A and B are shown apart, each in its own frame.
Chain A
Amino acid sequence: KQEVTQIPAALSVPEGENLVLNCSFTDSAIYNLQWFRQDPGKGLTSLLLIQSSQREQTSGRLNASLDKSSGRSTLYIAASQPGDSATYLCAVGGDAGNMLTFGGGTRLMVKP
């Protein structure tokens, strides 16, 4: 059974810092990995999708990497802003139906 872990569970940084969020998974036979953002009381917004054949994806200040062999992904946020404060969820897609297994999330606070 796939298990996804996100460390740290919470992170507080001053504005302007570059930061890295970590995601690890136990079964390397994945189809893809998706990073989401969730604001309090809201739904999930997709940030980046990395296919299993890819090593990384970039969108603006966000860069996500994938190392299947070691069961790890990182989300890099450059020049963090208070508006980046949210919970970031990592999810692994495990088969053709693309069912996702989620990590517990990292709650990020960026202080002005």
Chain B
Amino acid sequence: NAGVTQTPKFRILKIGQSMTLQCTQDMNHNYMYWYRQDPGMGLKLIYYSVGAGITDKGEVPNGYNVSRSTTEDFPLRLELAAPSQTSVYFCASSYPRAGGGEQFFGPGTRLTVL
């Protein structure tokens, strides 16, 4: 299993540009998440999904959109990039179990907005 994969690894955007961060998992996990990590900080939840067709906002959703059309894929869309969105973005997935399942993380996408 490849686990959780993310593309691209790095990206530089200009203010106002748009892009989609891709995330795919091959573990048949129902739950998927997007987090951002600012320098020297912990991670903050942007959006999450408990299954195909179901998404919900996390702690810091402004400026982002998501969709979940399949179990495997959970893309994150930035519509109008701003310098405040410079961060490292991590996608994660987990399986539903009583008490919560272990989360598995992708390698991250490092985004710079200039």
Q: Does A71 contact B (CB under 8 A)?
A: no
- As a 0/1 sequence over residues 70 to 112 of chain A, the CB contacts with chain B under 8 angstroms (1 = contact) are 0000000000000000000101010011111111110000000
Residue pair A31, B43 in contact (C-beta under 8 Å): no
Residues of A within 8 A of B106 (CB): 43
Residues of A within 8 A of B107 (CB): 42-43
A residues 31-51 in Cβ contact with B at 8 Å: 31-32, 34, 36, 42-46, 49, 51
B residues 16-73 in Cβ contact with A at 8 Å: 31, 33, 35, 40-45, 48, 50, 56, 58
Residues of A within 8 A of B100 (CB): 31-32, 51, 93, 96, 98
Q: Interface size of B by Cβ–Cβ distance < 8 Å?
A: 27
Name the distance in Å between A91's Cβ and chain B's nearest Cβ: 8
A99, B92: Cα distance in complex, Å: 10
A11, B79: Cα distance in complex, Å: 40
Q: Does B74 contact A (CB under 8 A)?
A: no
Q: Which residue of A lies closest to B43 (CB)?
A: A102
Q: Which of A42, A46, A99, A104 contacts B42 (CB 8 A)?
A: A104
A49, B101: Cα distance in complex, Å: 8
Known: A43-B108, A44-B90. A100 touches B103 (CB 8 A): yes
Q: Does A26 contact B (CB under 8 A)?
A: no
Name the distance in Å between A19's Cβ and chain B's nearest Cβ: 20
Residues of A within 8 A of B56 (CB): 97
What is the interface of chain A, defined by CB distance below 8 A to chain B?
A: 4, 6, 31-32, 34, 36, 42-46, 49, 51-53, 89, 91, 93, 96-105
